[in-house]
Amino acid sequence: MKPFLSCLLLAAATLAAPAAFAGAVLDDIKSGDRLICLVNPNSPGFSVPDSQGVFQGFNTDFCRMAAAAILGDADKADIRGIGFSDAMKTLVARGAHMASRSITRTGTRDADAGMTFVATTFYDGQGFMVPKSLGVARAADLAGATVCAEDGSTTLLTLADWFGDRGMAYRVENIADKTARLEAFFAGKCDVYASDVTALNSDRLLAAAPDDYVILPEVISNEPLTLVTQPDQDLESAVFWAFQVMLNADRHGLTSQNVEAARADLGSQPQAVARLLSSDGAATEMAAKLGLPGDWAYQVIRQVGSYSEVFERHLGAGTPFALSRAGTVNADAADGGLMYPYPIR
């Protein structure tokens, strides 16, 4: 009887397993008519609440992208600010559908069955911020420094590797809460603040006198910042291809401002644009297979924009960050970067 029962349990598990990965989460998003997306609670340029308490920023726009693709309405993204470690725990516990909060894709995280890394939205690297008064110009001058870093992040291991490889002594103030961590650094309890370079640019603006701090030139790690979802093949595909729509829009000059005119005059557009926007194009064919609204690609571009639009809106020349994609790995692949639009055809 025991072998027979064991066989039954094994068969049941085998049959049940695919259901957890093939649409249940996407179905939950549709039935609830909202997409719960986790972001950093206070990261200027990436995710910060405005005067109405609504999160705005580079990372939040990818939450909106997913809602536009799946629900047809970017405003149906339920964006919630949460700490780094808690974000991953919440995803694994099925308390949110996805996260867009500068989470580095690593081998051990990718191997975790509780979450799935879907699309890299920004290629970053770890660096150091110091007070100008410290008189430090290079990371090599940081021997003996006290470093404020985030508990549970890749920062700690990268610090151990970098200082250890150079035989340099250092001490870590390992503080999980970002507000407390920045307060400790700005109060002089740490000589150095370590994080991804984009985060350092953002966090520097939170100082009472940002010009009193400088980011050192060295970048000491690779940090592919990636959208993370609950394991669900349909949701993963929807998020991945929605991001590809934004990259393809970039490649073909489509923006939130001109996409409506382009759709109204498809006869004068390149075939790649017609495949994105026409009612009988590849994107519409994909919609039927992915369980998305027929005009999902158009809605992503109209409501959120191309990748360049999102970048320039929150991080570009007209912002306090004044970042440029040109000459960096975040440029389009056609310009030597790593942003490589997959074909929608």
Q: Domain ranges for the chain, please list them.
A: 12-124+224-251+307-334, 126-221
The amino acid occupying position 228 is V
**What's the pLDDT score for residue 4?**
40
Mean pLDDT, rounded, for 295-324: 96
CA 313, distance to chain mean position in Å, is 16
Residue 171 bridge partners (DSSP): 146
- 236-279 tens-digit pLDDT: 999 999 999 999 999 999 999 999 999 999 999 999 999 999 99
Residue 11 has pLDDT above 70, yes or no: no
Mean pLDDT, rounded, for 173-184: 91
**CATH annotation of 126-221:** 3.40.190.10
Mean pLDDT, rounded, for 188-203: 94
Residue 67 has pLDDT above 50, yes or no: yes
The pTM of the full predicted model, rounded to 2 decimals, is 0.88
Can you list the positions of beta strands (E) in 132-237? 146-149, 171-174, 192-196, 213-215, 223-229
Mean pLDDT, rounded, for 61-79: 98
22 band by pLDDT with thresholds 50, 70 and 90: low
Q: Which helix (H) or strand (E) holds 129?
A: strand 126-131
Give yes or no on whether 12-124+224-251+307-334 and 126-221 have one common fold.
yes
The amino acid occupying position 62 is F
Name the more confident of 11 and 160. 160
Cβ–Cβ under 8 Å, residues 226 and 118: yes
Name the more confident of 153 and 61. 61
Nearby residues of 162 by Cβ (< 8 Å), 6 or more positions away: 139, 220, 221
Residue 235 bridge partners (DSSP): none
Spatial separation of the C-alpha atoms in residues 232 and 229, rounded to whole Å: 8
**What's the pLDDT score for residue 2?**
41
- 204-247 tens-digit pLDDT: 999 999 999 999 999 999 999 999 999 999 999 999 999 999 99
Q: Which CATH number applies to 12-124+224-251+307-334: 3.40.190.10, 3.40.50.360, 3.30.365.10, 3.40.50.300?
A: 3.40.190.10
**What's the pLDDT score for residue 339?**
97
What b-and-e string marks burial along 247-258, b requiring 16 or more CB atoms within 10 Å of the CB? bbbbbeebebee
Copy the structure tokens of residue 208: 């009472």
Residue 153 has pLDDT above 90, yes or no: no
Output the average pLDDT for the chain. 92
CA 13, 18, 19, 21 dihedral sign is positive
